[in-house]
Amino acid sequence: MPVDSRATLSTVAHRAGVSRQTVSNAMNSPEMLRPETLARVQQAIAELGYRPSRAAKALRTGAARAIGLALPPKAETGAGGVGDRFLHAVATAARNRGYRILLLAASSDDDELDQYEEVLAAREIESVLLTGTHHGDPRTAWLSREGVSFVTFGRPWGAQEEGTTHAWVDVDGAAGTDVAVTHLAALGHTRIGFVGWPAGSGVGDDRRAGWLRAVHRLRLAPAEQPSAWVARTDNDVRDARSAAATLIAERSATAVVCVSDTVALGALRAASEHPHTVAVAGFDDTPVAAAVGLTSLAQPLEVAAESAVALLLDERPAGTTPPPTHILLDPDLQVRESTGSRVATA
C-alpha cells in the first residue's frame, strides 16, 4: 500500500474506524485502549505512514516566520467572528514584527486541526492564532497537548474548568451590555429587556450576564424576575422580530438590549410596529448599525489583534508557548438614533 505523505489524525481515524481522540490516545496513552482497538489504530498508522506531529516538531527549528490563522466555514457575524478589520489588523501587527499570516480555510474543528498538523509538520508556520472559541472546543486541548505556541481570540468558555489554560485575548461582552443598560437607565428607562441567543453560547451568555448585572445594580424593573425579561432567538432578523415583539408586549418594555446587531434589527422592526417608542441597542457595531442608526457596542478589533500578536511574538524566544496571560478588552458604546431620546414621562 502506498504511503500517503498527507496522512493526518483524521485519515488514520477514518481508516481505523475510530475517533480522532482514540488515535491520539493510542499514541499518547495506549493503556487507555482495549488491545484490539490499539492494534487496529497501529495498523492504520503503519499503512498510511502517518507521522505524528510531535515527532515532526523536532525538525521545526527552521520554521517560517508565519502565524497560522483559520477562517471558520461560515462568516460568523459578531460572536468572535473574523472580519476584514480583524484580519487586516492581525496582518499588520505580524508584519511589524517581520511575520506573515498563513490563511487557512477550515470546514470543521477537526479539519482545522488536520491543517495545523500539516503546516506545522511542514514548518510553514511557527504558531497559531485561534479564533471562534466555543464550548466543547477540541482545538485548544490539541494545541496545548502538541506543545504548539498559540493564542486565542476568544475565551476558553468552560475548557478552563477542564484544566486547559492558555493565553487569550477577548472582548468583555458583559461590560458592553452593562454600559448599554446604564446608558438607557440614564435616559429614564426602567423597563429594559434582553433579547439573546439560546443559552449555551459562551459569547451570548456573557452578553446576557452584563445586562443582568446592570439591572440588579440599578434596581430596574427586571431585577425582580429577570428570566421573564429575557427573550431567546436564533441570530436571524425574522425570529428576533417576533421574540422582541412578544417581550415588548408582555412586559411593556420601553427598551431592549440585544445580543447582536442582527437580533437588534429584528427588535427595531418590532419596535416600529409598536405604538410607543421603544429604544433598541445592538452589539458588534457592524456596518448595518451605522446604516440604520442603531446604537451598538463596538469591539476594539485593532487592539485585540495587536494584543494577540504581541502575546505570540514579543518577549519570548520564537515558537515557545506564551504564558497564560488573559487580556479582556472593553467595547465602546456607539450611541445613535435608536436610543436617541429620553423616555416620555408617563
Q: With respect to its own copies, which residue has the nearer C-beta, 254 or 262? A: 262
Tell me the DSSP string of 68-118: EEEE-SS--SSTT---HHHHHHHHHHHHTTT-EEEEEE-SSHHHHHHHHHH
Distances (CA, A) of 64 to 6, 120, 125, 247, 311: 19, 10, 5, 54, 18
Q: Which is nearer to its own copies, 11 or 182 (CB)?
A: 11
Q: How far apart are CA 310 and CA 304, in angstroms?
A: 10
Report the nearest approach of its own copies to the CB of residue 120 (Å): 13
Q: Could you write out the DSSP letters of every residue in 264-308?
A: HHHHHHHHHTSSS--EEEEES--HHHHHHT-EEEEP-HHHHHHHH
To its own copies, the closest distance from the beta carbon of 326 in angstroms equals 26
For its own copies, the closer of residues 209 and 292 by Cβ is 292
Question: Minimum distance between the CB of residue 242 and its own copies, rounded to whole angstroms?
Answer: 15
Task: Locate 198 and state its grid cell.
Answer: 439560546
| Residue 123 Cβ vs its own copies, minimum distance, rounded to whole Å | 11
170, with CB counted inside 10 A (0-12, 13-18, 19+), is buried
Rounded to the nearest whole angstrom, what is the least distance from the CB of residue 55 to its own copies in the complex?
A: 22
Closer residue to its own copies in complex, CB, 181/313: 313
Instruction: Tell me if residue 184 falls in helix, strand or coil.
Output: helix
Q: Alpha-carbon distance 290 to 335, whole Å?
A: 10
Task: CB nearer to its own copies: give 115 or 296.
Answer: 115
Query: What is the three-state SS of 120-183?
Result: HHCCCCCEEEEECCCCCCHHHHHHHHCCCEEEEECCCCCCCCCCCCCCEEEECHHHHHHHHHHH
Report the largest interatomic distance among the alpha carbons of the chain, rounded to a whole angstrom: 81
Which residues of the shown chain bind its own copies in the complex (CB under 8 A)? 64, 66, 69, 71, 73, 75, 77, 81-85, 87-92, 95, 100-105, 107, 115, 119, 124, 237, 262, 265, 286-288, 290-292
| Closer to its own copies by Cβ: residue 81 or 176 | 81
Q: Is the dihedral of CA 172, 177, 183, 185 positive or negative?
A: negative
Distance in Å, CB of 21 to its own copies, minimum: 24
- Which of 113, 147, 102, 90 is closest to 313 using CA atoms? 90
Q: Is 206 helix (H, G, I), strand (E, B) or coil?
A: helix
Minimum distance from CB of 292 to its own copies (Å)? 7
Q: What's the closest the beta carbon of residue 84 comes to its own copies, in angstroms?
A: 4
Q: Is the CB of 89 or the CB of 215 nearer to its own copies? A: 89
CB of 13 to its own copies, least distance (A): 20
Nearer to its own copies, 71 or 223 (CB): 71
218 or 303: CB nearest its own copies:
303
